[in-house]
Amino acid sequence: MRVDLFDFDLPADRIALRPVRPRDAARMLLVEGATISDRLVLDLPGLLRAGDVLVFNDTRVIPAQLEGRRGEAKVGATLHKRADLRSWWAFVRNAKRVRNGDVIDFGADVSATAIKRDEAGAILLRFDGDDPVEQLLARAGTMPLPPYIASKRGTDAADTDDYQTMFAREAGAVAAPTASLHFTSRLIDALEAAGVARETLTLHVGAGTFLPVKVDDTADHKMHAEWGRIDAATADRLNAARAAGGRIIAAGTTSLRLLESATGDDGVIRPFEGDTAIFITPGTRFRAVDGLLTNFHLPRSTLFMLVSALMGLELMKEAYAHAIEKEYRFYSYGDASLLLPA
């Protein structure tokens, strides 16, 4: 499909720079079938059914944004995918000043050696020394806010908590599964009281999720790979819930992408561990999920293509036009939408 079909006008002031407080006070656009209505995230327990299952991503964001020097040159690095215990692929700012074998000094006694580049220009960095990389990042790194926020303000202490979900457990993401940022203990209690179950999986979200689509046709876009895991017990419980008539509602596009990667043509969710580079566009047949809770996405992005695949492109353009007119807040720190196909 032509990428320009997924374009729309988004005023810059619709991109949220801070989350609402409390988290569950965010607005939520309900798109159910072809009906669009304005709700709140706190309405969620009354919009789902007893027996439905919300599936959350328990990945934890690491301080993956680094600023350093290679000699006199300033170099910025955003880690996006672990290669091994000491090495990460990174998107590097001022990469033309970095050659294979160069050492980048990130301060706080943290340095890394540039090993090689991939075909997309990312650089493999091997961290020097014996300390675990997680300790090095804790000393020298900052939270990797999306570029649409970072270009308008600096990262500060509030982001350490704001950009982490209540489910965060498995360290390894360099971007938050932002739909889950809306959840609080009181909302979870209300969902449990309504008979809505929850499960977790792990998908380590990479910085590639923010990469623009630079081609003219979706068929020519190469999707970034991310590592994920669904264990056998979780897959069994999800299959049992569906067999009993419950709906599987993905809390975020990351959960949806991993669920669809783990599900066969027979609709059975299977254990999964490894990389997925699934690219969901209109025409995709959904096998695992019956709905999606997600934030609002940017024009021409792979995530707007995903929600258009689930609900239909024209309906999503109508829903987004409504959201813009009603001044919903977009992207990572923004409001939510609950998408329930007919």
Interval 195-226: pLDDT, tens? 999 999 999 998 777 777 889 999 999 888 89
First to last CA, the chain: 23
Fold entry, domain 3-61+161-340: QueA-like (3.40.1780)
- The answer, yes or no, to whether residue 81 has pLDDT greater than 80, is yes
Could you read off the pLDDT of 118-166 as tens digits, one per residue? 987 899 999 999 999 999 999 999 999 888 898 899 889 899 999 999 9
Q: Is 308's pLDDT higher than 90?
A: yes
Domain range list for the chain: 3-61+161-340, 65-141
3-state secondary structure the chain: CEHHHHCCCCCHHHECCCCCCCHHHCEEEEEECCEEEEEEHHHHHHHCCCCCEEEEECEEECCCEEEEEECCEEEEEEEEEECCCCEEEEEEECHHHCCCCCEEECCCCCEEEEEEECCCCCEEEEECCCCCHHHHHHHHCECCCCHHHHCCCCCCHHHHHHCCCCCCCEEEECCCCHHHHHCCHHHHHHHHHCCCEEEEEEECCCHHHHCCCCCCEHHHCCCCCEEEEECHHHHHHHHHHHHCCCCEEEECHHHHHHHHHCECCCCCECCEEEEECCCCCCCCCCCCCCEEEEECCCCCCHHHHHHHHHHCHHHHHHHHHHHHHCCCCECCCCCEEEEECC
54 in Cβ contact with 190 (< 8 Å): no
What pLDDT, on a 0 to 100 scale, did the predictor assign at position 162? 95
At 307, is the pLDDT very low, low, confident or very high (cuts 50, 70, 90)?
A: very high
Q: How would residue 102 be classed by pLDDT, with cut points 50, 70 and 90? A: very high
* pLDDT class of 276 with cuts at 50, 70, 90: very high
179 or 155: which leads in pLDDT: 179
The pLDDT value given to residue 148: 85
Closest CA to 127 of 143, 112, 110, 109: 112
Give the model's pLDDT for residue 286.
97
**Partners of 91 in the β-ladder:** 78
Fold of 65-141: Thrombin, subunit H (2.40.10)
Give the mean pLDDT of 309-329. 98
226-251 pLDDT, tens digit each: 999 999 999 999 999 999 999 999 99
What gap in Å lies between CA 203 and CA 255, rounded to an integer? 7
Please tell me the predicted confidence (pLDDT) of residue 224.
85
What CA–CA distance (Å, rounded) separates 342 from 336? 19
pLDDT beyond 90 at 19:
yes
